Structure 1
């Protein structure tokens, strides 16, 4: 776990240090992020490719790493976006998620588990506004290509903000008083988020994570249009009837630095981040 903690810190440090901010307008900054992510994947025992796509006459890129399993009939996709909203460092949103993605790849490389399915790890561009909820999202491009190629996707896991935690009472907010009755009021847990109808898969991922990590893992299923449920890249896999969920620290319901210039590396808890990744990695090898 210690190695994971230090590697996660290095990843977030690298990504948040990119200037200017890695938003959709700063193509060279995005390219710097691509080079870093691709370079880290290329150190590992996996196939690495770029997936370029054009939006408004600019070329953006997803970065894809594939770990082969016993059967190539089905695939599990794990993703995180590397772009930020506006001119801010984006430590939690979403350097933390990308760091989790890279560390998941490293754990697959180091432990070489007996994978039942291919695992495809994808770093997406253009998750943030003004492209959010549009067909220009990198994850929408990726999901559409898989559909066109008739790839059978068993499941999708999205790392979205996994670094901000607090042990302070009432540090966890809720969009609905009913929800508050069922969850801790301290923001020191991680949530597996799925839409209504995905209860079985959401709870399976939660239970598998709990077996492999020390952090408190909760789950929630809510209608697709409700609050946080569809606020990341997993949303683009739902239209193809893929079980897609988000691993999330609850974003602006906990983190006061969301989409602010104060979303910096010193606000993150790397021990808990490492525990989250350990849980996701454990779940991945059993799904």
Structure 2
């Protein structure tokens, strides 16, 4: 992996064997950021092409694939859903948005979450044991502005459809920016300065973010399993929903409909200064760390 920026080179010495394939992660990220960089609502044909790519790979992984239409301002966009495990019973949702904000490649936001979703699908499809419950992997459209916090978000449409159909949901995990890590002191920022004393100043960890009362017993168990399984540092962060960043992704819509949900992230703009910029490129990502984050999620979902 020669594309890591200089500030991330120390991570190479910490590389560990993973079930997740870093070469596949790189393949997906190259497609998303180089072949299809304009993945915004302004380019619906590009988003349709990306949806077809995602559906193809999710189906190849063994998922039962469906597309969910998401209308917005006279244009129809698509969520892509892949189901694994039994048809009936409660569902566990893992989702990541594949659109970007404006005209930028969106490697971390949210190419890394989308690539992680595809690799998780491959790992679920290869599971030697039957899955204990149905797991739906959902690639969302329209998470970014101008549709963020509106009923046009792909995740709002999906969560609303579950509620309307009275489908029981065990919980939801949002994958949002999981590829940027920095070992330098002072590389991690926080919404409140005092948090640096608790979590440290190095941006070298994955955060499991939850709101008070937003994920319940299921969220606590999953967070513990994730941390116990991870081959990289993990910080569990629980805060009120009004704290900036806690609800800045697709999990907020599952909270809205009363479903337990949490966020896995590298903390986005609190660490990655290239957030929503043209410089959010593949060369700044740590694929070994992204692979470890996916491995931990697989282990947490299949204890």
TM range (shorter): over 0.9
* Contact 1:199 1:221 (8 Å CA) reproduced: no
Q: Secondary structure at the match of 1:76?
A: strand
Residue in structure 2 matched with residue 72 of structure 1 by the alignment: 88
Using the alignment, how far apart are the partners of 1:157 and 1:80 within structure 2?
9
Residue in structure 1 matched with residue 56 of structure 2 by the alignment: 39
Using the alignment, how far apart are the partners of 1:210 and 1:222 within structure 2?
18
1:240 Cα deviation after fit? 2.1
- TM-score, with length taken from structure 1: 0.96
1:60 Cα deviation after fit? 0.2
1:203 Cα deviation after fit? 3.5
Residue in structure 1 matched with residue 165 of structure 2 by the alignment: 149
Are 1:92 and 2:136 counterparts? Answer: no
Query: Aligned to 2:284, which of 242, 253, 267?
Result: 267
Using the alignment, how far apart are the partners of 2:157 and 2:74 within structure 1?
16
Using the alignment, how far apart are the partners of 1:125 and 1:86 within structure 2?
14
Are 1:24 and 2:35 counterparts? Answer: no
Using the alignment, how far apart are the partners of 1:94 and 1:102 within structure 2?
13
- TM-score, with length taken from structure 2: 0.91
* Contact 2:216 2:260 (8 Å CA) reproduced: no
Q: Secondary structure at the match of 1:102?
A: helix
Residue in structure 2 matched with residue 194 of structure 1 by the alignment: 210
Q: Secondary structure at the match of 1:122?
A: strand
RMSD: 1.4
Using the alignment, how far apart are the partners of 2:63 and 2:191 within structure 1?
41
Residue in structure 2 matched with residue 277 of structure 1 by the alignment: 294
* Contact 1:192 1:218 (8 Å CA) reproduced: yes
Residue in structure 2 matched with residue 223 of structure 1 by the alignment: 240
* Contact 2:209 2:246 (8 Å CA) reproduced: yes
Residue in structure 2 matched with residue 251 of structure 1 by the alignment: 268
Residue in structure 2 matched with residue 167 of structure 1 by the alignment: 183
Are 1:116 and 2:132 counterparts? Answer: yes
1:241 Cα deviation after fit? 1.7
Residue in structure 2 matched with residue 4 of structure 1 by the alignment: 21
